[in-house]
Amino acid sequence: MSTFHIPSLRLFNQKISSNHFETPQALITHLGAVQAQDYPMSKWAFGVRLPQATDASIEAALDAGELVRTHVLRATWHIVSGQDVRWMLALTSKYIKASAAIRDRDLGIDSALYIRTNDLIAKALEGGKNLTREEVMQELEKGGVETNSSRAVHFMMNAEQDGIVCNGVMRDKKQTYALLDEKIKPGLVLSRDEALANLAGRYFSSHAPATLPDFQWWSGLPMSEARVGLESIKSKLESFESGGKTYFIGETPQLTAAPEASVFFLPAFDEYTVSYKDRSTVFDPQWHKNAITSNGIFKPIVVRDGLVIGIWKRTVQKNKVVVEVEFFDSKDVMEQGVMEKAVAGFGAFLGLEVVVKA
């Protein structure tokens, strides 16, 4: 198998080019997680993979607890299934906490203070309340805890890692928090070994072909644990060498040649690029700086035949959304009709007319 096949296989396994799932929860169970610090774009990550989905339907799934937006895997926002959030937190939370330890000391936060703030946060939210971070901080101040914007981030993320809070219902486009045990029904209960195998299985079925370092990066686990996860499922996988790297994949789909170029407008931080340590098979390294900023912001990307060839941005207006496209190389510029066809699904997802500018 040559590297030529890797982009098309990833498009298929990530359910971008082909999808049989009918619900957001079924899709996220397959993918494992979707990186989600850009909230509007994270909803489009579902929309591009679920043609029948709308922005409102994905938000409704989050409000209902079928999906959960929280800090899990790496120390950033992800969306996962409500059925998976507890075992995933149990697997990765100690590593996320460790990554915050130095900054904790700078902010004057220790374990005793976290115990205190967890208790105050739980009391503020009990009874089905949905409060913004600012409202929760007001309750902490009343309880005698000094807060500021940096401390607030750490207090809430620690409460997430301890399984106390998760996303609440969106209010006027603002994130709120709710008690996880009040909002999310009991889910899977796994031992640590089972959790490692489960996470590895999800990743290599949905993101393959991929390498062990890719899985380690995506999962946020130390290499030793990532290797255990892979070893536990390796008998179910095929492997091949390409470019000096070993790639793993489950059952290889029979892909047929597309009658015309496949073009996708993928969101910021999409799993298609952010979930791999090595992105060179789908992304010419000379263009990385155009799509990935020095501080790790992944811009929305244009993908043709599996290769990243440009970026795009959207401006939502009253009755329409304006999509502006920037190609890395002039030879890759597409015809207006091709772009309009490719981005039509985004307009349908938002329920708005789309105007494309290049």
Residue 220 within any structural domain of the chain: no
Residue 189 within any structural domain of the chain: no
Q: CA gyration radius for the chain?
A: 21
Q: Do 304 and 155 share a domain, yes or no?
A: no
Residue 225 within any structural domain of the chain: no
In DSSP notation, 203-248 reads: HHHHS-SB-HHHHHHHH---HHHHHHHHHHHGGG-EEEEETTEEEE
Q: Do 154 and 282 share a domain, yes or no?
A: no
Q: Which residue has the tokens 């906490």?
A: 97
Q: Do 135 and 43 share a domain, yes or no?
A: yes
Q: Do 24 and 165 share a domain, yes or no?
A: yes
Residues 166/160, Cβ–Cβ less than 8 Å: yes
Instruction: State the sign of the Cα–Cα–Cα–Cα dihedral 327, 331, 337, 341.
Output: negative
> Which residue, 134, 161, 183, sits at the end of a domain?
183
Taking CA atoms, 72 is separated from 32, 93, 107, 328, in Å, by: 11, 7, 22, 33
CA 170 to chain centre: 18
Q: Do 24 and 135 share a domain, yes or no?
A: yes
- Pairing between strand 320-327 and 353-357? parallel
Residue 135 within any structural domain of the chain: yes
Q: Which amino acid is at 349?
A: F
- List the pLDDT tens digit at each of the 358 positions of the chain: 555 589 999 999 999 998 889 999 999 999 999 999 999 999 999 999 998 999 999 999 999 999 999 999 999 999 999 999 999 999 999 999 999 999 999 999 999 999 999 999 999 999 999 999 999 999 999 999 999 999 999 999 999 999 999 999 999 889 999 999 999 999 999 999 999 999 999 999 999 999 999 999 999 999 999 999 999 999 999 999 998 999 999 877 766 555 456 999 999 999 999 999 999 999 988 999 999 998 999 999 999 999 999 999 999 998 999 999 999 999 999 999 999 999 999 999 999 999 999 8
Exposure string (b/e) for 96-129, b if CB count within 10 Å is 16 or more?
bbeebeeebeebebeeebbebbbebbbebbeeee
Residue 35 within any structural domain of the chain: yes
Q: Do 152 and 290 share a domain, yes or no?
A: no
Q: The whole model's pTM is what?
A: 0.94
> Which residue, 183, 218, 243, sits at the end of a domain?
183
> Which residue, 150, 183, 216, sits at the end of a domain?
183
How many separate domains does the chain show? 2
What is the residue range of 350's domain? 263-357
pLDDT digits (tens, 9 = 90+) for 181-225: 999 999 999 999 999 999 999 999 999 999 999 999 999 999 999
